[in-house]
Chains A and B, each alone.
Chain A
């Protein structure tokens, strides 16, 4: 009796993974970027319109804002007039909202 190990599906997964993962991460990066822009506080629009996604490498993307005060809106600050504590998180909520979709896409890739 002989046993033959069929690695065809595994080989295909290995071959497809870099390209597929790049597409999945890209999709999530743009989803996070759009959602963060929607969630960001809006006055002049500088914060929300400056949020963008940039490809940094294979399956590696960075989503960031473009203004120096973005981190204060995200993490909170005390307003210089009146001393009110203000916080309008936009980036982390967007990441967390996308997390289930990202995991679902990864799972679907392995189910093929």
Chain B
């Protein structure tokens, strides 16, 4: 399994296990999307993606150092998006992921981000989230 597939599976499993988070979403665990929700997906939902990073290449032992952007979207308010973000943060920051084939030795939030988008109908979509640095060491 590629490290990306293993990483995204582990993030999904971590978020899906958070009932306080999934209870806030339109479709529960079905509203957790890697990279891109389906066109016209119903809010609120959570999206995550790798925002940057890669191999450390510091030693012969392979390690990964990637940034993952996890955020919640809501059509209700910035506060509603923030509440989703709070729950996601509780599941991720300073926690440990179970990544097949890799050991997760660092997981910490580094940046807080929020954004509002106005649609053509005048409605707003609110985003609140954070960028997490995830460091992995390949299992020997």
Within 8 A of B (CB), among A74-100: 75-78, 80, 82-87, 89, 92-97, 100
Interface flag for A42 (CB, 8 Å): no
Interface residues of B (CB under 8 A from A): 35-37, 39-41, 47, 49, 51-54, 56-57, 65-67, 69, 71, 113, 115, 117, 119-120, 125, 127, 131
How many A-B contacts at CB < 8 Å in the complex?
Answer: 59
Q: Is the CB of A71 within 8 A of B54?
A: no
Interface of B is mostly: strand
Q: Which residues of B contact A92 (CB under 8 A)?
A: 51-52, 67, 69, 131
Interface flag for A72 (CB, 8 Å): yes
- 22 A-B contact pairs sorted by A residue (CB < 8 Å): A71-B115, A72-B117, A75-B113, A76-B49, A76-B127, A77-B117, A78-B117, A82-B40, A83-B39, A84-B36, A87-B35, A87-B36, A89-B49, A89-B69, A92-B69, A95-B52, A96-B52, A96-B54, A96-B65, A96-B67, A97-B52, A97-B54
